[in-house]
Amino acid sequence: MNNTFALLFLLASCTTIHFRSNNSVPVSFEGNPKHQKEVSIAGQKNFYFWGTDPEHHEVFIDEEVRNAGYDGISKVIIYENKNPQDILISFLSLGLYLPRAYTITGFTSGSPVAEDLDETSTIKDIK
């Protein structure tokens, strides 16, 4: 019985991603009539040792939007994704490595400027 509790404790992960803004570009959960183009920005944070290292990650939405080359975003929706590949990796590593993906979607004006793109960001225009 004690082995069962120990196994559950080891396999329980405490991964937490805090989504914040430091106001470098406008971010709004409400609509903006100037923003007509829907975009999706994907990212990933990695946790180790059953989600205990680090205790949490911070993702600054405005920095992600700015790194993607946009000057603002509205109608923001944030998804934390658990795709089969990440689940398999977590299982095979016995929880020592836990990748966690997220997607920020919303509306913006214009398209990103190629030289402004951060190489770690993935952008997908939604049509």
Q: How far is CA 38 from the centre of its chain?
A: 17
Residue type present at position 101: A
Confidence of residue 107 (pLDDT cuts 50, 70, 90): very high
Domain count, the chain: 1
Would you state the pLDDT for residue 103?
Answer: 92
pLDDT of residue 19 exceeding 80: yes
Domain extent at residue 73: 2-125
Secondary structure (3-state) at 31: coil
pTM of the predicted protein model? 0.69
Alpha carbons 19 and 59: distance in angstroms, whole number: 5
103, 83 in Cβ contact below 8 A?
Answer: no
Six-digit token pair at 66? 């700015």
Q: Which helix (H) or strand (E) holds 48?
A: strand 37-48
